[in-house]
Amino acid sequence: MSAIAPSKQTYAREVENTDTLRGCAALFFRFPTPRVLALKILAFIIARPFLGPLTYMDAVFVGAVVLWWPFQEWLLHWKMLHFKPFKLGPFTIDPYMSKKHRYHHRHPWLLETTFLPPESFYVLVPLHIGLWWWLSPTQGLAATGIIAFATAALIYEWVHYLTHTPYRPRSSYYRWIWRNHRLHHFKNEHYWHSFTAPFLDVALGTGPSAKSVETSDTCLTLGVDDEF
Ligand SMILES: [Zn+2]
Ligand SMILES: [Zn+2]
C-alpha cells in the first residue's frame, strides 16, 4: 500500500444510517480532524470572556473570515491541491497536500480522504493559533479569529465529507454543492473548485453548465501517473 494511503479505511455505504443526516453526523465526529477542530472551537469559546470584552471589531473579524474563506477554498483547491508535479533537476516538486488530493480523486468513496490529513494538524493548528495571536491587535480578537476560522474549517470538512456519503440533498443550496462536487470528481476536474460556495465558481468562471463541458478522462488520476 502506498505511504499516502490512510491507515484506516471507511466507506460510508458500509456504515449504517449514512443516508440520514443524523447517521452522517455521528460518523463525522468519529474522525480525528473534526474532533480536533470542535475541541479547538470549544476551548477558545470558553477562554474568550477572559480575554477582554467583545467589541464591533469582533464582528469585523468574523465578517472578514466569512468573506475570505470561500476564496481560500476555491484558490487552494485549484492551485495547490491540483498542482501538477514537475522535475527540478534531481528533485520532484510535488507538495504533500497535492499528492493527498490526488489520492482522494483516485479513491473518492474512501471517507478518510475527504478530510484534511490529520498529520498536517501538527503543523497547521500551532501555526494557525500562533499567527492569529501574533497578528491580532488584542488577545480577545485573536481568540475570535481562531473561533471563526476553525468554524469555517469544520463546516468545510463537514460539507466535503457529506458530498461523499450516500446522503441525498434535501435543500436546493446543498443540492447545488453536491452536484458541483460530483461533477468535479466525475465530469471534469478542471471546474467546480468550490466546496461550500458554488456561486463563487459561477462568478469566477469555473462553474459552467455541465452540458457545455467535455467529460475528462483524467478525473481519477488528475493526469499524474501515481502508484496508488
Ligand atoms: Zn471530494
Ligand atoms: Zn479536486
pLDDT digits (tens, 9 = 90+) for 62-86: 999 999 999 999 999 999 999 999 9
Dist. CA 185 → ligand 1 center (Å): 7
Residue by residue, DSSP assigns the chain as --TTS-SS--BGGGSTTTTSHHHHHHHHTTSHHHHHHHHHHHHHHHHGGGG----HHHHHHHHHHHHHHHHHHHHIIIIIITPPPEEETTEEE--HHHHHHHHHHHSTTBGGGGSPPGGGHHHHHHHHHHHHHHHSSSHHHHHHHHHHHHHHHHHHHHHHHHHTSSPPP-SHHHHHHHHHHHHHHHT-TTS---SS-HHHHHHTT----GGGSPPPTTTTTTT-----
pLDDT for position 124 = 96
pLDDT digits (tens, 9 = 90+) for 25-46: 999 999 999 999 999 999 999 9
Ligand number with the minimum distance to the CA of 182? 1
pLDDT for position 227 = 84
- Quick one: what percent of the chain has pLDDT higher than 70? 99
Question: Average per-residue pLDDT in the chain?
Answer: 96
Dist. CA 199 → ligand 2 center (Å): 17
pLDDT digits (tens, 9 = 90+) for 110-149: 999 999 999 999 999 999 999 999 999 999 999 999 999 9
Dist. CA 117 → ligand 2 center (Å): 15
* Cβ neighbours of residue 98 closer than 8 Å, sequence gap 6 or more: 80, 81, 82, 83, 85
pTM: 0.95
Ligand number with the minimum distance to the CA of 181? 1
Dist. CA 226 → ligand 2 center (Å): 15
pLDDT for position 4 = 86
pLDDT for position 3 = 73
pLDDT digits (tens, 9 = 90+) for 176-214: 999 999 999 999 999 999 999 999 999 999 999 999 999
Dist. CA 161 → ligand 2 center (Å): 13
pLDDT for position 2 = 62
